[in-house]
Amino acid sequence: SMLYHKPLDEQWQSRARELEKRLGVYVIGRSRKQKLILSQDYVTEKLHINGREYRYIHIENSFTQPNPRVNEQMIEWSLSQVGGIGGDLLELYCGAGNFTIPFASKFDRVLATEISKSSIHAAKQNMALNGVENIEFVRLSAEEFTQALDSVREFRRLEGLNVSDYHLKTLFVDPPRAGLGEEPCAFAARFDHLLYISCNPETLYRDLEILSRTHTIDAMAAFDQFPYTHHLEMGVKLTKKGSV
């Protein structure tokens, strides 16, 4: 993606097409009230997870994990933490289905929510691309889904989907850098099994202080997505106290 402060004309398009051909890339030009797509506005990434190849469409200007080799390790670790639990999985902040699609092999059904319309669209494409059928992607924020689950509000986006039919005893979250906070942690505390991927160890620490009131930490891992920087991804598996 190339950003400019002046309008993009035919000369820019001609030069950009030369650049696409020379580098073997897809170029998108952005200026004020302009978005020029020369070939396509997405890339297809291949990940190899536990001996299986997964393919993902990533749309320009949307979020995805930046380091594919570390991402593969992060997904494999996450899969190892949920083996044998069964039932249905609830995922919040699912993005384009990075974790969701591999998780589908470990659970009867997966219900995944995300607020971004473009990410939900990509997630549905990725589900079809990988031949997975037991995932339901819903465009709701974490707060909205809690309201729907507790029958506080009805959402047209959930029409035809009965949330109460799901046997949700496992929750997976991969929130933004701000983490969960008090209310979402209270919601997470309902679940017997909780898997938390964090891109901010500081907010993760804050959330774990809350979650430790109801859950015990079973496993923890660190994933260095950005070598030579202070950024670090963390994974934590928690089990509700007193659950079998």
The DSSP annotation for 52-104 comes to EEEEEEEETTS---S-HHHHHHHHHHHHHHHTTT-SEEEEES-TTTTTHHHHT
CB contact at 8 A, 96 and 113: no
Which residue in the block uniquely carries the two structure tokens 């990410």? 119
Q: CA-to-CA distance for 181 and 84, rounded, in angstroms?
A: 29
State phi, psi for 184 to the nearest 5 degrees: -60, -35
Amino acid (one-letter) located at 101: I
Among residues 116, 123, 187, the alpha carbon closest in space to that of 149 is found at 187
State phi, psi for 177 to the nearest 5 degrees: -60, -25
Q: Is 233 a catalytic residue?
A: yes
Which two tokens mark 56?
Answer: 């993902």
Amino acid (one-letter) located at 47: L
Q: Is 94 a catalytic residue?
A: no
Q: Which candidate in 91, 114, 144, 233 is catalytic? A: 233
State phi, psi for 217 to the nearest 5 degrees: -85, 120
Between β-strands 193-198 and 168-173, what pairing exists: parallel, antiparallel or unpaired? parallel
Q: Which candidate in 182, 199, 202, 209 is catalytic? A: 199
Catalytic residue positions, numbered: 199, 233
